[in-house]
Amino acid sequence: MQRPLILVSNDDGVTSKGIRHLVECMKELGEVVVVAPNSPQSGMGHAITIGNTLRLDKTDIFGEDVTAYESSGTPADCVKLAKHHVLKDRTPDLIVSGINHGSNTSISVLYSGTMSAAIEGAIEGYPSIGFSLCDYAQDAEFVHALDYVKAIAKQVLDKGLPKHTTLNVNFPPKRNEQIKGVKICRQARAKWEEEFDQRFDPNGRRYFWMAGNFVNFDKGEDNDEWAIANNYVSIVPCQFDLTAHHTISMLNDEWDIKI
């Protein structure tokens, strides 16, 4: 039997620890092809490269049994290049992105390059998953999440996903107790409250450095922030249709725009 074809990408770059773990997990499930950025692309969201060159170079960083490329583009660019050039007439059975070094819960899904690679896969109609570890420490441990990475990916390979849907999967940091299990969640109502620190470079030119805090306004126990805080893996099904469908009838009924 032909093994499933799995495309791997990320936003931390082709040399990151997270993508190496993800490749090793996916090799147990199918044939792996990697197209990932050649440098960190965190916070790029769903940016694509327009009006600039895109580089795509083969790399043997994952060994001889993995076809891999590094690109100068964004995570979304990488998935597009994989579809139109690297895989050509082949159709991936699964697209996975990550494992991101840092959280992509709640509103971060909009800023995340990791999730944008997965969402780009969903736009093309491929089953897709974005994996993230909610730990920003330089020596963050990924190993405790890997069995869940394989189990979740296998579920999608075996059972599929609704078309144009992707999964945003976040893992809690390694703690003294084992992960309690998996929660299928909604996105928490939370946001970043930014501050911009004004500074000056050695030439006296002003610049700004973004800082701030993440604030969770959500008191529910059915969201991804609650799941991570309580040592569960969170899985949030996502779609790229941002239409506020419930507002359409309100605008039609209440607005009266006349010029």
- Give the whole-angstrom CA distance, residue 34 versus residue 36: 6
CA dihedral over 96, 58, 65, 88, signed as positive or negative: positive
Ligand-binding site membership of 213 (annotated): no
The continuous run of DSSP H or E covering 119 comes out as helix 113-123
Note if the bond before 99 is cis, omega within 30 degrees. Answer: yes
**49 CB-contact burial (10 Å; exposed 0-12 / middle 13-18 / buried 19+):** middle
Ligand-binding site membership of 39 (annotated): no
Asked whether the beta carbons of 176 and 159 are under 8 A apart, the reply is no
Closest CA to 114 of 188, 18, 244, 233: 18
Q: Return the DSSP state at 218.
A: -
DSSP string across 57-114 = EEE-TT-TTSEEEEESS-HHHHHHHIIIIISTT---SEEEEEEEES---TTHHHH-HH
Binding site as annotated, residues: 11-12, 42, 100
Binding residues for a divalent metal cation: 11-12, 42, 100
